[in-house]
Copies of this chain bind each other. A is one copy, B any other.
Amino acid sequence: MRISTRFSDSIHILAFIEIYKDIKVSSEVIASSIETSAVVVRRLMGNLREAGLLDTKQGSAEPKLAKDPSQITLLDVYFATEGNKPLFELDKKTNPDCIVGGNIQEVLGDYYEQAKISAQRKLNETTLKDVIETILVKQKYKDSQK
């Protein structure tokens, strides 16, 4: 299983907006930090807006977090970008006339759900505030090494 870079990129976007909240921040500028295109950034910002995590206004380069960073968890961002997609893929169909094929999907589905919930619970323990603080601490250390 693999979670696409959309998730990482969305966290990146939110962290960037919060850290640089005092200056103008266009999708172009954010894109250059992620090293992707501005359109991709805008698309992701659209998801974050729909999820109620971000406020944006067309035409104005002034995105704002819709909540305090301490109230946004990685799980919130996960749902905003990945929705309710399953973490583990089940087959579309297996042979219903076979004992194994006829039952395994349901059985595995239950176990997968447990593993997924477990991962999500962990993501829910970390807030955007934690991420930002850790980024700033790391940067401070780098600066002190120069």
Which of A's residues lie within 8 Å of B, judged by CB?
Answer: 1-5, 7-9, 11-12, 15-16, 19, 32-36, 74, 82, 85-91, 93-95, 98-108, 110-111, 114-116, 118-123, 126, 131, 134-136, 138-139, 142
Contact = CB atoms under 8 A, between A and B. Distances in A.
A105 B7 CA distance: 12
A139 B87 CA distance: 26
Contact of A4 (B89, B95, B102): B89
A3 B89 contact: yes
Contacts of A89: 2-5, 7-8
B35 A101 contact: yes
Given A100-B19, A104-B15, A119-B87, A34 B95 contact: yes
A104 to B, nearest CB: 5
B91 A5 contact: yes
